[in-house]
Amino acid sequence: MLGNGVITLSKRREEAMGAKTETITLPIGKCTVTRKGSGPQLLLLHGGGGSIADHPVADRLAEKFEVIAPTHPGFNGTKIPDHFDGMPELVHFYLDILDALKIENAVLLGISMGGWLAAELASINCSYFSKVILVDAVGVKVGGPTDRDIMDVFGIPPDEAQKLMYHEQSNAPDLGSLSDEILAGIASNRIALGLYTWEPYMHNPKLPQRLHRITAPTLFIWGESDGLVTTDYGKAYAALIPGARFVAIPEAGHSPYAEQTDRFVSEVLAFTD
Amino acid sequence: MRTYWFTEDAYPDLPPQDEYESIRVNLPNSNFDPKRGNELYNWYLDLWCMAESYGLDIMNNEHHQTATCMVPAAPLMMSILARETSKARLLILGNPIANRRNPIRVAEEMALIDVISKGRLECGFVRGVPYEAAPANRTPLRGSQRLWEAHDMIMKAWTTHDGPFNYEGRWFHGRQINIWPRPYQQPAPPVWVTMGGRSSTTPVAKHKHIGAVFLAGYPRIREIYDGYREDYLQMHGEHAPFDRLAYLGLVFVGENEKKAREGAEKLLWYMSANKVPGYWSNPPGYHPPQISAQIMKGARGGAGIPLTASLEDQMARGNVFAGTPDQVYEQIKNFWEYSGGFGNMLMMGQAGFVTHEETETSMKLYSEEIFPRLRELEASTTPAEAWEKSKAMKQRDNVPLDGFALEFVR
């Protein structure tokens, strides 16, 4: 019998800093968006781990910006539209979102897979954005066919993948200790990540030929200890965008915003000031 | 009742299991000695020919990057058998068309085998087990949808005889499809599709295809067969004939209990050798999130199968039928009646280190002492009667599920 035991998974948060989460309906599908803070817009595109709208870094950024953090369909329990087969569908979904959310003169900040999405969007139409920040981003292949530029996160044990993501190993979550509900959420995000990145793996072979269209000032922020995509990869990626700067943050892995939040925020603020 | 004799063509000469991480996907092929491979391939072909000589039909399959099955191209092995044999039905179960890039190539290969064999092809289509995702570099997400689109394209290619047609679907595209040869059997060779759960039965029943179930055992067989039979009855207004359903189990028949046990224990290599880490059996999109989470947590064995399950447990589940001819007949009969009946026994008769002599003895005893009785069993009742009788039986779950069937069913 259902009844008292029913758990409502979709929680609407109205929390500190005026954070507001809403679901908007677009021609292609629904999108959950969290906004917090006020100031110039900062469009925050999350990576394969799911939304970081609740992460302290979002609050820090919200002290200066209106942080606008959509959840990519399929992450955090949201539905993947039936026709989605990969990144191209997500990119076109976001073209609608940019208009629906009235994105204007925004700082575009994309992390990991969200960095790939950001590079795609900025190369299609950079006029929405004042600055572009790519954090440990994937999206291009910089080596030859047999160079493993991007670690195959689906071809190594999940706990090993976690280790490659963190500089300080104790920061990596212990999967075995998580609740079934949280694990199912991680598994669900992993399915979405697989959908968007499976083949060609984590990149678009055509993207390098379009990156010159990113005309906004661009900064690459990289965790120096990132084992998924190394700083060499990041530097080669940065070299594909005219004038892009590259900064490595020591003692941080694939998620420098989490391991070195202060330094990360200060890099963002310095670049956007 | 037909019996399809099956071996997966294993390469069993491996180092101790604790010396490698996985038997699938990333086991280096330095472990494969081509000279030994040559012997094994030819031996397996001999075994299939022997099966024909004992009045059995033939089944093969394919997997990739694994020592559990050395055949990465089932049609190549079957095309040899199309020439080497003359009577047996030739079942490929199956072509992994959810992972294949070009369904038309499959349509052509199948038509070729059908013509060479004078219409003896039985053509199976499967989604593929999860560890096929990495070798195929195909996302498992929407695999079932891809399977059915590829299926539609192949059926159309087999049955169109008036020149080119176009098929422009979501995943597969052709503008001038006009295959040569066309199949020998008209309008098309019999089609088989594996069924892994209730949700997978409907399209199989809709097409009146043969629904095959691998190792679902007592715990799950009726959920799947009943689903197929309900769908079939509802859609076609008649009971599904027995020959629309198939069951794969491990079968070993010995002259006495001791020999039967020895042979059956060896046959269990098929299960015990399947050392696969969670990340190969858990590609994103294959399992629903809850099951995927359990694999990540390590609560389930990587292969979803208790590697240490004893012969008794496997027999209690209805995955293994082993013993003397009388015993094996009784075991299969019990399962057959419990399941509501099926017209195709898929007999996994050789695996791992089961020897030529043991294989032949088991095959011979099955063929001479069990198979005739199974045919009588089938002829003694009707699908409607057998189904009613099955419904009257209490659900039997001998051992915990542990998702056993989830990965072997496809």
Predicted ipTM beyond 0.85: yes
CA distance B410 to B195: 7
CA distance B36 to B48: 19
CA distance B191 to A76: 40
- Count of pairs with CB atoms under 8 A, one residue in A, one in B: 69
B296–A191 C-beta distance less than 8 A = no
CA distance B401 to B410: 17
Optimal mutation site among A78, A191, A195, interface B, most CBs of chain B within 10 A = A191
A264 located within any domain? no
Residue B365's CB: how many other CB atoms inside 10 A? Answer: 20
DSSP assignment of B390-405: HHTSPP---S--TTTH
pLDDT at residue A16, rounded to an integer: 53
Is A158 an interface residue toward B (CB < 8 Å)? yes
Residue A190 to chain B, least CA–CA distance (Å): 6
Mean pLDDT of A253-267: 98
Q: Is the pLDDT of residue A111 over 70?
A: yes
B297–A175 C-beta distance less than 8 A = yes
Chain B residues in contact with A202 by the CB 8 A cut-off are none
Number of domains in chain A: 1
User: Percent of chain A having pLDDT more than 90?
Assistant: 85
pLDDT at residue B397, rounded to an integer: 66
Chain B residues in contact with A183 by the CB 8 A cut-off are 293-294, 296-297
- Which positions 69-98 of B are in contact with A (Cβ < 8 Å)? none
CATH number for the domain spanning B17: value is 3.20.20.30
B409 neighbors B214 (Cβ within 8 angstroms) = yes
Is A200 an interface residue toward B (CB < 8 Å)? no
Helix A180-197 vs helix B289-297: crossing angle, to nearest 10: 110
The pLDDT-based confidence of A249 (bands split at 50, 70, 90) is very high
Is B297 an interface residue toward A (CB < 8 Å)? yes
Pairing of strands B2-7, B344-350: parallel
pLDDT at residue B406, rounded to an integer: 33
Coil, helix or strand at residue B74: helix
Cis peptide preceding A234, ω within 30 of 0:
no
Residue B85 to chain A, least CA–CA distance (Å): 41
Burial code (b: 16+ CB inside 10 Å, e: under 16) for B161-189 equals eeeeeebeeeebebeebebeebbbbeebb
Q: B20 vs A35, B271, B273, CA distance in Å?
A: 49, 16, 11
Q: How far is CA A230 from the centre of its chain?
A: 17
Q: What is the DSSP letter of A136?
A: S
Nearest CA in chain A to B280: A155
pLDDT at residue A2, rounded to an integer: 31
> Residue B253 belongs to what H/E stretch?
strand B245-253
Burial code (b: 16+ CB inside 10 Å, e: under 16) for B201-218 equals bbbbbebebbbbbbbbbb
Residue A186's CB: how many other CB atoms inside 10 A? Answer: 19
Nearest CA in chain B to A180: B293
CA distance B223 to B402: 16
pLDDT at residue B302, rounded to an integer: 42
Q: What domain range includes position A44?
A: 16-202+234-254
pLDDT at residue B307, rounded to an integer: 55
Nearest CA in chain B to A155: B279
Please report where in the chains the tokens 């996907």 appear, as a residue: B25
CATH number for the domain spanning A104: value is 3.40.50.1820
Nearest CA in chain A to B285: A191
A194–B279 C-beta distance less than 8 A = no
CA distance B93 to B125: 6
Residue among A183, A194, A195 minimizing CB distance to B297: A183
Q: A111 vs A95, A241, A256, CA distance in Å?
A: 18, 17, 10
Closest Cα partner for B346 from B153, B177, B215? B215
**Residue A221 phi, psi dihedral angles, 5° rounding:** -110, 130
Closest Cα partner for A114 from A169, A66, A58, A156? A58
Is B175 an interface residue toward A (CB < 8 Å)? no
pLDDT at residue B403, rounded to an integer: 36
Chain A residues in contact with B142 by the CB 8 A cut-off are 85
A193–B278 C-beta distance less than 8 A = no
A198–B289 C-beta distance less than 8 A = no
Closest Cα partner for B68 from B290, B345, B276, B281? B276
Residues 6+ apart with CB under 8 A from B31: B11, B14, B15, B20, B67
Closest Cα partner for A152 from B20, B297, B279, B99? B279
Number of domains in chain B: 1
Nearest CA in chain B to A186: B293
Chain B residues in contact with A198 by the CB 8 A cut-off are 137-139, 141, 284
Is A198 an interface residue toward B (CB < 8 Å)? yes
Q: What domain range includes position B119?
A: 2-408
CA distance A272 to A264: 12
In single-letter form, the type of residue at position B63 comes to H
A53 neighbors A78 (Cβ within 8 angstroms) = no
Helices (H), B311-355: 311-317, 325-339
Cis peptide preceding B181, ω within 30 of 0:
yes
Q: B390 vs A186, A247, A269, B345, B394, CA distance in Å?
A: 41, 69, 71, 18, 9
**Residue A71 phi, psi dihedral angles, 5° rounding:** -100, 125
Can you give A83-131 as a three-state secondary structure string?
A: CCCCHHHHHHHHHHHHHHCCCCCEEEEEECHHHHHHHHHHHHCHHHEEE
Residue-wise pLDDT for A35-90, tens only, equals 999 999 999 999 999 999 999 999 999 999 999 999 999 999 999 999 999 999 99
Q: How far is CA B347 from the centre of its chain?
A: 9
Residue among B138, B139, B298 minimizing CB distance to A195: B139
A194–B139 C-beta distance less than 8 A = yes
CA distance B155 to B174: 14
Residue B280 to chain A, least CA–CA distance (Å): 7
The first and second tokens of residue B39, run together, are: 């012997």
pLDDT of chain B, 410 residues: tens digit per residue: 999 999 999 999 999 999 999 999 999 999 999 999 999 999 999 999 999 999 999 999 999 999 999 999 999 999 999 999 999 999 999 999 999 999 999 999 999 999 999 999 999 999 999 999 999 999 999 999 999 999 999 999 999 999 999 999 999 999 999 999 999 999 999 999 999 999 999 999 999 999 999 999 999 999 999 999 999 999 999 999 999 999 999 999 999 999 999 999 999 999 889 899 989 999 999 999 998 988 887 754 444 444 567 898 899 889 999 999 999 999 999 999 999 999 999 999 999 999 999 999 999 999 999 999 999 999 999 999 999 999 999 888 654 434 333 333 33
Residue among B170, B283, B290 minimizing CB distance to A154: B283
Residue among B134, B170, B284 minimizing CB distance to A190: B284
Helices (H), B54-208: 74-84, 103-116, 133-136, 143-159, 201-206
The pLDDT-based confidence of A14 (bands split at 50, 70, 90) is very low
B369 neighbors B325 (Cβ within 8 angstroms) = yes
Chain B residues in contact with A174 by the CB 8 A cut-off are none
The pLDDT-based confidence of A264 (bands split at 50, 70, 90) is very high
Is A144 an interface residue toward B (CB < 8 Å)? no
A9 located within any domain? no
A154–B292 C-beta distance less than 8 A = no
Coil, helix or strand at residue A43: strand
Residue A190's CB: how many other CB atoms inside 10 A? Answer: 27
B141–A191 C-beta distance less than 8 A = yes
Is A145 an interface residue toward B (CB < 8 Å)? no
Is B277 an interface residue toward A (CB < 8 Å)? yes
CA distance A115 to B304: 35
Is B206 an interface residue toward A (CB < 8 Å)? no
A199–B298 C-beta distance less than 8 A = no
B285–A195 C-beta distance less than 8 A = yes
Mean pLDDT of chain A: 92
Residues 6+ apart with CB under 8 A from A236: A142
Residue A86 to chain B, least CA–CA distance (Å): 10
Residue B199 to chain A, least CA–CA distance (Å): 18
CA distance B172 to B168: 6
